[in-house]
Structure 1
Amino acid sequence: MASRVELADEVRAWLEGLVAGGLPEARLVGEAVTALLDEGSGLEPPLVVAVESMLRAQDPRRALDHSYHRQLALLQQVRRGVADVATSRKRMELTLEQLGRQCRTLAEQGRKAADLGRDDLAQEALARGSATSAELARATADYGALQGEEEKLTAASRRLQQHVDSFRSRKETAKAAYTVVLAQAAIDRACVDLDDPAVLGPDPEDAITGARARVEEALGSAHGLEQELQQELGGTVERDPGLLGNDPLETGLLELRPGSPADSGIRILFAVGPAPADTVVLLAAAVRQGNWWTWYDEALPQARNLLAERSIPLAAGGTAFPTYSKESFLDSFFPGRAEEVEAGAALLVAGNRTHPLARVRRRSGLTATQLAERMQVAPETVAAIERAEPGFTEVRTLAAYVEALGGRLDVVADLGGERIVLSGPRTGE
């Protein structure tokens, strides 16, 4: 469960426009965001999907580009660390120069005081000179360590740059090969439709599988490179927590799809935390139909940049987003309609919890009609259960559905962090 939501300025203005226009998409967004605040990490596909897995499933070439851009973002953090150390070294050089001048000045003052017979002033200058010399010695040692750190980071930055450049070449080669195979497969299918076997090549599906395997291999190397970049950031350079989680293929940017499992034509990119960890950050959003790729090409870099800016302290030029609790979110965007939106959010959550049932049924090789026969109900009842229609999500009904699939429904009670598994009711009881 998330306790608050932050809205990037563009997302806030976008939602305000939907609400002001009285558009039905506004309510869908309100219900989805409310569900996100209520359920948090409990939401799963199709309502919430990981951007990485979505790109990988729909077009692995896009996943390669996405990973490459994240590598560049991580590499930029390494470079920023090198620049910070270089700045510290230059400041240290100024300090050493100043301490050196002080030592020379105090030594000269001591000699002049001794020449004038002012032993008291000479002793004072000598004592101050000794303290300054000791400070200079410590600063010199620190400077040597800082130089070594800078050399180490510079070498690491160059090595990582070479790895990223190498991945870029590998990425473009894999993408090109995959594109060629897809084009050839399209030609082959057209030949089949035209009944022209003369130009047919190998099985296009086999070719696509081989090309996709090559892309997946490149994605595997991308995962390893991202881990290497993060290890460098986790060592001597402070890591920007706003960009990635521990596993770049499983965490990072997520996508909220209001209205799911139906496609409402709405996409909202968001991230969870990381600080505070119970915060959902909405980064980019759009309503459209058709090809989404041009939007992703623009929105994904924008979302990454916003997360990076959010992680920087305000005093250092960072960005703060407007923050809302669930109550203030509803009051701000849906005044007088809070109960209505919350009720819609509850139905949305219920619908998305039961939606995977249809996927499990299909994996079991059963049609809705066959499952209905096992349950001794009408096929319309099975469809209603899978759509989470009101009146069809009671525990006993769901238990009958699951048992017809050969499983068993258990009820889990969460009592202040303690989870107790309670057996679901038997349909025959």
Structure 2
Amino acid sequence: MRINDVVITAISNLFRVYICWKFIRFFFDERKVEARTEKAVYFIFYIGTLLFFVCLQSHGINLIVNLAGIFLLTLIYKGSLKKKALAAVLIYIMNCGCDTLAYFLFLNSNQDIPETQTFSIVTDLLLLICVIVAAGILGDKAKKELEKGFWVLVMIPVLSILMIVGIGTLGLSKQGIMLCIGVGTLIINMVVLYLYNMLQEAHQNFYEKELLQQQIKVYSNQLETISQTQKKIRHVRHDMVHHIKELYGLAVADKKEELLAYLKEMEEAVVNPKEHVCTGNYKIDGILNYMLEKAENELKKVEVKVKIPEWLHMDTFDLVIIIGNLLDNAIEAARQTDEKYLSFKMTLEKGVLFIDAANSYCGVIKIRESKILTSKRDPGDHGFGLESVQEIVRKHDGVTDVTYGRDTFKVRVMIYMKSVR
């Protein structure tokens, strides 16, 4: 094998390893694997498959080595062996499918099948199309950005393939020109994929930053609420002897109305108006008190009923996201109406967690691609909160039911608890 053939093969194989990594991420959570270990394993896979192909040049051995290598890559991720084997087979079948399609593209152009290197470049571009389409179907965090530029991303590799096949069909190039154009096209598409990956990570970081900022506000509000409550309790406790004497005197004198009035004053002295909910779970209490205080300030009528145990066998972070998004959407929609009404209920009944949010709304529902758009001012956030809720509920095998009438919008979430502590 000539030196230029080895170089082209090395670049093409590097591209395939990157595509393979992108596909594997659709099946497994890469955050649970140490980055250094992941990079080392993929580097070994790249060098191993490259050496086998260059040294042996046997399609049979190459098939076995690649399939076994992809399966070994999946072993560093958490998941069942069945899932790992299935992922490896699906990825390799997709690879073979792109090889076959590339073969027929040249076969149908009434020309000789090109050199292996040019053939591999076309296959890599087909794989790029597959990974972009798969990201739109399977990738949770990629969906938002893909919706904006999906066809642009797909058309770049498609046009690149047409360019390579077209030049060969017209007979305008020699092997060297074909290879140069092919390498240039491959590099351009690698840059596009790299930029897309950066855009995807930037979007994820932005979303995580928004969540972190909300958490900081929630915890700050909860700490302030707890501090105020404790301060009031200390004052009442300090004067408890005097209060008992006063209550005793009113009871002996049979002054019932004055006794009740005095007890009412004591209750008001202890109760913190910012503490709307107290379940014992500081994270849930934090988000509820923060959002409900916001609702009390912006709306006319707020009804709340929360009856859950202190601990639930469910990821509290996910539950906080559900509560936060439901209340945020409900408050935003209700504040734009004359009624300014919000009802929120959260109960645990027979092992099922029910979360009901109802609010007044302007009566206009916007739907795009089967998704309900919210009434938020930022168009980039349309439907994102409700979509996040639905994804998390599905993750916990729950159900989300959305209904709306002439002036009331309702969302019911049902999540089955495996056990309650």
Same fold (TM over 0.5): no
TM-score normalised over the length of structure 2: 0.26
